[in-house]
Amino acid sequence: MKEAQEPSLTDQEGNLLQPFVTNVDRPVFGLRNLPEVVKGALFSRYSRSDKGLRRILLDEFIQAPEAEFARIVGESTNHHTDQFVAIHQAEAFYDRVLIGYGDDSVAELGGGASCL
């Protein structure tokens, strides 16, 4: 994925993003370790924002408590059960959030992200 030049990330921000992007400091990068629901929501937000994709992932997903990002990507102690429940909760959460942006193609965006 190619992204417009953005202000540099702090070391802490880079560490938070590192498991989910192939690099944190070059203009071309790929996404990794993200469920389809997150990729779909992320691309939906990206299409309506002047922020870069990494900044949106950091600000609106990883660091947004209501997104429960750590549970969705399986960073909890009861990994499989908790992640399954969290993904279903995330789908409902992102559906509610994205309805406000008028996007009805989140599933298509998630599938498109897999092809990168």
57-86, pLDDT tens digit by residue? 999 888 987 777 777 776 554 555 555 656
Angle between helical axes of 106-114 and 79-99 (0-180°, round to 10): 130
pLDDT of residue 81: 52
Residue with the bigger pLDDT between 20 and 74: it is 20
pLDDT of residue 115: 46
pLDDT of residue 87: 61
46-64 per-position pLDDT tens digit? 988 899 999 999 998 889 8
- Amino acid identity of 51? K
In order of 18, 30, 54, the CA distances from 3 in angstroms are 16, 10, 9
Nearest by Cα to 54 from 65, 42, 41, 68? 42
pLDDT of residue 12: 95
